[in-house]
Amino acid sequence: MKYLENRDSGLFCEVEADLADYVVIQGAIGTLGRAKRGKCYNLQDTDELVEEYCSRGFRVVAHPPPLSLPMVARELLPGAPLSPEELARFRPDALEELSEQRQFLWNGEMRRFLRRVFGGRRRCYNRVHHPRALAYEFETIAAWDSPSMEKEVSRDERGMVTHIGYRLNGQLVLMLVNSWQEGFIYPFFLELSSDGLGFSRRKHLLEEARELLIGFPSFCADYLQRIAEDERQELKLGKLKKVASVAFEPLVLGSLKSKGYDFRVEERRRGYVLRVQLAPITYVQLSLPYEGVVRSAGHVMDTIQMVKGMFYAAWVIMEVVPTPARMKWGVVRRRSSLYPAYYRSNPHWVMAMCGYVDRMLPREHHHAGLIEDYMAMMRRWCPRGIRFEKRAIKGAKHWVATGTTFEGDVLVSIRGHARGFDLYLTGFDGVINFNLETGLPSEEHMCAFIMGIPGFFGEVQASLDRQLGAAIFERRVLHWLHGLRGIRWCLEVRSGGEVRVFLEMPRGKMLKVYLFYDDYEETLAELTETIGRVDRAISIGRIPFSLRRRDWMEE
């Protein structure tokens, strides 16, 4: 660093350099000055800069004078000091050499603590000036004394505060840094070589630093207590797991093997999750905490037999699952799909699709260029909300038109070849071939065809729903649901001849039933008895269970 003064003009100049930048601070003698940053490629560049200032009447001063900083009166921050018991938690083994997971947890807790300190304001204050711009603020912070933390203040050769360290029980727990580093706040779990945490705005810096210093000691003490409790809990769980592992194999798995069940076991933090297959796409799931394995081992087979009997006695497709936290009862939800699988085998759907293709894609355009050029022209004509992209489908490259405004449903896929392209429509079993001999549709017709698919599907779906009696079916199910007493429900109407009924069960469980247009009368007649069986199974079962309809090996 070179310090220069021009006594005639009353100005000073400082030139600082690091590996690739230089900083020039200029101002009136006795002030902090203003900083300007620039690029330098070697130290000779800064020497030339100093010579330039000397040519303007500046002279190098070997011993720069101290900065003119205000004298701030010392102040004791409010708050009660930590108790001896709380101070004892700040041990070297609790604060030093933290694992990556522990650093991650501390970082998350610290950010939540800072959100409370900053009153919800986002931390977005990034340093754009020289650290001297905050000399007054850090001088004020250095004058504050914490009732719990010991303070250490470091200054540079000009007397400016650069670091303020705070210790608890002799351990360095917090560092406030005024330098070129990214961030100002460095708790003990962050290295000074990494990016620190920042404040929200410069105008709020003093206010936020004050709240930080007041609340940080108790925040650390409370979280250290939680960590100690978690470690004791983990130690307890380890002992329980060791005891449970000895009893789980012979008492539970041995019984399942002897009965010929297919099962899968997953170890989790607090216990075992046992999945037992009842049907190719149905399994029962039991949760066995480590502390209850010995006590519950005798009830596992009873629970499985009870659920199996309940499952095979019911002539409905159902699931028993935990109730979502945000489940809304007494409402009718509608879920529509552009391509219900039910339509593929419906002749009305196939005839309507063929007619739509013939009507919207006349073979009147003969494109002389390559198919890639034709696809490029289509992408230029394609309206907003539809995008083309290349995908590999069954080993071949296809151009896929995706409707971004239709929840990403694929509207059409096109496989180009030397003489034209093949058109594949989702929900339609077949391929439509276009080539140069028979004629290609124009770009305008193709784009109108793609954009019209959602509306066309909606019309055909409404027509099919009318044929299938969807409105009558929905009214019949709603009438049956309103007749239930003491059971909350939710109805989800889906396209393609399906509705799903959700019924509230005891112990936080929910019964999900699948109903279809073609057999709903028989299903509703059976459903009342099924509800009673499920209610009794959940109420009297010694082990909580879920009945899921999916591949039993899935996660």
Poorest-pLDDT segment among 5-19, 70-84, 318-332: 5-19
The reported pLDDT for the residue numbered 213 is: 93
Q: How confident is the model at residue 172 (pLDDT cuts 50, 70, 90)?
A: very high
Question: Has residue 496 got a pLDDT over 80?
Answer: no
Q: What are phi and psi of 130, to 5 degrees?
A: -70, 150
The helix or strand, by DSSP H or E, that contains position 265, with its residue range, turns out to be: strand 263-267
Q: Is pLDDT above 60 for 519?
A: yes
Classified by CATH at the fold level, domain 2-60 comes out as q64v53_bacfr protein fold (2.20.140)
* % pLDDT > 70, the chain: 77
Q: Is the pLDDT of residue 407 over 50?
A: no
Q: Could you tell me which of 554, 548, 550 has the C-alpha nearest to residue 511? A: 548
Query: Could you read off the pLDDT of 348-363 as tens digits, one per residue?
Result: 666 777 788 888 888 7
Lowest mean pLDDT among 6-20, 213-227, 410-424, 463-477: 410-424
| Listed residue (452, 454, 457, 451) closest to 342, CA to CA | 457
Using H for helix, E for strand and C for coil, what is the string for 155-217? ECCCCCEEEEEEEECCEEEEEEECCCCCCCEEECCCCCCCCCECCCCHHHHHHHHHHHHHHHH
Average pLDDT rounded to a whole number, residues 119-123? 62
Does the pLDDT of residue 383 top 60, yes or no? no
Where do the structural domains in the chain lie, given as residue ranges? 2-60, 75-232, 261-330+488-554, 341-453
Confidence (pLDDT) at 153: 93
Query: What does the pLDDT read at residue 190?
Result: 85
Average pLDDT over residues 528-533: 89
Identify the weakest region by mean pLDDT among 74-78, 435-439, 446-450, 543-547.
435-439
- pLDDT tier at 474, thresholds 50, 70, 90: confident
- Average pLDDT over every residue of 434-461: 74
Sign, Cα dihedral of 310, 311, 316, 318: positive
Tokens of 495: 């396209």
Choose among 484, 537, 81: nearest CA to 311: 537
pLDDT grade for 398, boundaries at 50, 70 and 90: low
Give me the pLDDT at residue 146, please. Answer: 93
- Rounded to whole angstroms, what are the CA distances from 149 to 145, 172, 192, 213, 412? 8, 9, 20, 9, 67
Short-list 30, 554, 39, 553, CA closest to 263: 553
The β-bridge partners of 12 are: 5, 27
What's the rounded Cα separation, in Å, for the pair 282 and 417?
Answer: 44
Of 192-206, 396-410, 498-512, 514-528, which has the strongest mean pLDDT? 498-512
Q: How far apart are CA 411 and CA 427, in angstroms?
A: 9
